[in-house]
Structure 1
């Protein structure tokens, strides 16, 4: 059974460009430290490249998270139970999502993503693996509250946010997103979220600067996307991928660094960069048990159980939507 055609909740201009993408790029390139939110990596090409990254030998998070989902399946089944609509914030991993769905006997699956073609392709592939499961893809930017398909409105919800994508955001933005997820999922919902853990710097830097150069292609694809969708003239050959550990903020940072002075246009606006200047394209924050718990509590979620892989590189946390209180 193929997935439902699904909903599209993305605001496009008359040229078919996501208006939020244009606004974020123009604002970010106008700042003293140029920066573009990491969610704009994930056009169809970027989504495909990220799937390739997850299979790289240096990229441990996928293997570690898959190990948890495999080893702790019985515990997930007991603590989550069956009959929930699984709402995944992202198009769905070809490996991790089926593992979860096999564990918990869901009533429906709702993937949310802004990369429409990749979303529908992933939903169709998952429908082929689970022919009896209703699948309702929703093309949407999930940093804002998403109105879910009417078919799942009355179902209890489980949000699924794997891969430590929450680490792409600074604390303020991460808390806002967690609160938005709670609003999307509603009262009585649960959230299963991945959080990468602090570890040796060499392991972290290798995971974001692999020997095969796939992560570099992923990073540079953002510039290609700007050129393609926003009439950009960024000289791609004048940029290089940089990944570095920032210990003060407990995060890996990815940048596009100018190899020479450059000038370029985007949507009719002009920008320049000196040699060594960068566009900050991604943060990947790494968590301790305490910092992860604090973040979830601030976002309206109460941690219920936490699991790590055998080498304690990565964690999955199951949290309940916090019941509102008028006082401590």
Structure 2
């Protein structure tokens, strides 16, 4: 879907380059609040008076590469078996030249599909469940968990924050709150990461809303209380990945949450969303839980009597529309997909 910035993809954020005029034109300044209504887009893992943990831009869409890659790899295996079976078990005819063409040309293509599908699966499985970011209000430092397991620590005030834009064949143009780490010249981009990502369906205004949520916490005198109140009154849920892997219930709920206001659309798109839920479960179960280094933990203490602590343990229960209806849609969607595939395969074998 939209995997811009992934280290092991071919669409990494470009670095070792000068800032562009377009980036300067849509810069978010640390002291500027903006006029948008705040929204957190279900991105907060943990919250307290000292720091706030956020999920990465690939967390909301995790699962897509897993199920899509599995389909691509399975298709490659199926056609490879079909080609080999046709070559060795088909009766000798004058069409042996066509069978040789299948072995020489089409079989390698099938094997490439298998490799490509496995590569897609490996972008999510066997890695980390998520790549957290920690914004410390007290020390004014930002910690970013890289995809290779190392951590970048950079001053909040030194970040060049701008409206990031990416293009994907499946999701079209998407936007994120892009953070650039600059060289000493203040012009050259040394490293980039996405500080906020609403969803593949978000627009530029969504980033304004996320900034209106994030900026007060780091800048406003009453930012802790305002952000805490927003999370308590408007969000309802924090992402349940603090020191744990998300469970199957959350994998289903998160996969269907984009259509939370349109249950009938969740059913219509249940084959896609249901497969994404299954792929997400597999990706999460095979991935490692990220652990902040000891020096980061020591630099980010929590007060024992902090009245503003929030974690996933403060979440309310998932109800009918959050879990059980999406669960039904998952069963219907996956069942429909499997039925269609079985029908197609049976037709090919006749």
Both proteins in one fold, TM over 0.5: no
Question: Based on CA coordinates, which of the two structures has the bigger radius of gyration?
Answer: 2
Bigger RCO (CA 8 Å, 6+ sep): 2
The TM-score, its normalising length taken from structure 2, stands at 0.27
Higher helix share: 2
